[in-house]
A and B are shown apart, each in its own frame.
Chain A
Amino acid sequence: MMANTQYKAGKANHWRRFLANHLASGLAVASTIIVVAPLVAILLYLIYKGASSLNLNFFTQIPRPVGESGGGMANAIVGSAVLLGLGSLLGVPLGIAAGIYLAEFGRGGRLANFVRFTADVLNGVPSIVMGISVYALIVLPQKHFSALSGGVALGIMMIPTITRTTEEMLLMVPNSIREAALGLGVPNWRSVLSITLKTASPGVITGCMLAFARVAGETAPLLFTAFGNNFWSTSVNEPIAALPLQIYVYAISPYDEWHRLAWAGALVLIVLIVVSVALVRYVTTRGVLKGAS
């Protein structure tokens, strides 16, 4: 009798567990679909809207005044390139050097942990805060907006990603390679740059591209630094146009023509970013340290 009730209880329990199992599986699948759906929707809509608005003028002309149709974002594309170039000039060497310090000199030390922590802090600083900080540091003393200040803001934002990936990639280089170089009487600095860093270079480049892709779409840090510009400018001392800024300005405007251009700009921006992310993924899945046993 008792055995029977136990058996029944066990059976009911079994059904409950069976249901829970399938319910949970179903929920997991459903949430994946819910997550993937908006992305696909965003991308498809972007391609649809952007492609129908893209034309040659977009790449060759500068914005027209309100009311005139046509015009493009040529100055914003060039401006973004200038800003990203300036940012890389600051962020790439500094980020790589900091990564070298963490991996080659600071291993496990307190100071290295501290630097690592501050890099994480820097990574978490909201981009708008970065914008006002660089405004206070550069724009206020100079008394005018400039491409330079925008580049500095982007460069600072690149540093944490580059530093951490450089460190990780250098740590993946086997110690035997370092010993081989030192054993030949090669000075340490030479060994680090020409052997260790070179061996890790595919991974380090990946990190730089990741950082690049991340800041390429940043708008908030440019609002009060690069400021935007409706005309051609490549001077580092003047306000400069940038693709994300232009998209923002056009998106919140009330004009259909400008909305159209905003979509085209967004598509160009996304293609730029997706290509670099895909490239990064290709490189990393291809084995970052080919041949290093």
Chain B
Amino acid sequence: MGVGIEVKNLNAWYGNNHTLQDINLHIPANQATALIGPSGCGKSTFVRCLNRMHETNPIAKVEGSVHIGDLDVYNDASPVEIRRRVGMVFQRPNPFPTMSIYDNVASGLRLNGFRNRRVLDEVVERSLKHAALWDEVKDDLKKKSGASLSGGQQQRLCIARALAVDPEVLLMDEPASALDPVSTAKIEDLIFQLKSQYTIVIVTHNMQQAARVAERTGFFLSGKLVEFDTTHKIFTNPGDKRTEDYITGRFG
């Protein structure tokens, strides 16, 4: 089951670059929340702060607080523990090239020391079904390498991999930007089905996509959260002039 996310006074730096400035927002549980904005506006940095991936870069720095459910992300636990509870799907499909489809999905559990084969089998099947990939790959789960799938299938494999660790939150950093329209539609369908069980945060540069899948939308600009509201309100009656300019395409 998903949990909500509470962000307070979040600031992030990349070297001397102040990439996120005083972000405050509440992301409700079991919904899809979209983050839009021009490239370089900080939306990707923002989701990477939620599971502490931002700090894997040595020159990155974060201040402020993030709560996922009742867990204080920056004080209660280590990055490793956070990331086990927060799944992430990246911009470009990144299955482990040396692993079979099965091993890819099982990797999050196996690499953390999980050994029960029976449960693993169950988890792999359930995750692949959740990711709507099961029917396409069930016959050569252990024969084919994850890298041999098509781009769209690879991305769904990555979603299955993220789901296998049973996360409470699923972060998606432009999950469809490297995919063709048909694959994109499949990913969007997936988000629709998954959001009843997981809290989903999706970064996208595609406004139509945000409008299609998300209940709430946040608009980022130059490291600031300009506006955060229901998707309906953002796209029909934005409260801020800059949001309006952006969604009507009068913006770079």
Contacts and interface: CB of A to CB of B under 8 A. Distances in A.
A–B: direct contact at CB < 8 Å: yes
Interface of A: 174, 176-177, 179-188, 190-191, 194-195, 198-199, 201, 289-293
Interface string B77-94: 001111111011010101
Given A184-B107, A201-B98, A291-B148, 10 more contacts: A174-B94, A180-B95, A181-B107, A183-B53, A184-B112, A185-B85, A186-B80, A186-B112, A187-B112, A290-B97
B94 A185 contact: no
B94 A180 contact: yes
Contact of B53 (A179, A190, A191): A179
A176 B147 CA distance: 13
Contact of A190 (B51, B96, B111, B147): B111
Contacts of B147: 291-293
A187 B112 CA distance: 7
Contacts, number: 82
A183 B145 contact: no
B111 A186 contact: yes
B53 A195 contact: no
A199 B94 contact: no
A146 to B, nearest CB: 40
B165 interface: yes
Interface string B100-116: 00000001100110000
6 contacts: A177-B94, A180-B94, A185-B85, A186-B107, A293-B92, A293-B97
Contact of A199 (B53, B84, B92, B98): B98
Contacts of A186: 80, 107-108, 111-112
B248 interface: no
Contacts of A174: 94
Nearest to B147: A291
B94 A179 contact: yes
B49 to A, nearest CB: 13
A184 B162 contact: yes
Nearest to B92: A176
Contacts of B158: 180
Given A179-B56, A184-B165, A291 B111 contact: no
A185 B84 contact: yes
Contacts of B53: 179, 182-183
B90 A289 contact: no
Interface in B135-173: 145, 147-148, 158, 161-162, 165
B145 A291 contact: yes
Residue among B51, B94, B112, B147 with max Cβ neighbours from chain A (10 Å): B94
Interface string B17-32: 0000000000000000
Contacts of A180: 90, 94-96, 158, 161
A109 B82 CA distance: 28
B84 A291 contact: no
A290 B36 CA distance: 35
B94 A176 contact: yes
Interface in B51-88: 51, 53, 56, 79-85, 87-88
A160 B195 CA distance: 52
User: 8 nearest interchain CB pairs?
Assistant: A185-B84, A291-B147, A184-B108, A185-B83, A291-B97, A176-B94, A183-B88, A186-B111
A187 B81 CA distance: 9
A185 B80 CA distance: 5
Contact of B56 (A182, A195, A199): A182
B184 to A, nearest CB: 19
Contacts of A293: 92, 97, 147
B112 A198 contact: no
B101 to A, nearest CB: 13
A111 to B, nearest CB: 13
A194 to B, nearest CB: 6
B110 to A, nearest CB: 9
B83 A199 contact: no
A179 B96 CA distance: 11
A187 to B, nearest CB: 6
B88 A195 contact: no
A61 B158 CA distance: 59
A188 to B, nearest CB: 8
Contacts of B92: 176, 293
A185 B97 contact: no
A199 B96 contact: yes
A180 B103 CA distance: 14
Nearest to B91: A176
A195 B110 CA distance: 12
A289 B145 CA distance: 13
A192 to B, nearest CB: 11
Contacts of B165: 184-185
B90 A185 contact: no
B215 to A, nearest CB: 24
Contact of B81 (A184, A185, A191): A185
Contacts of B161: 180, 184
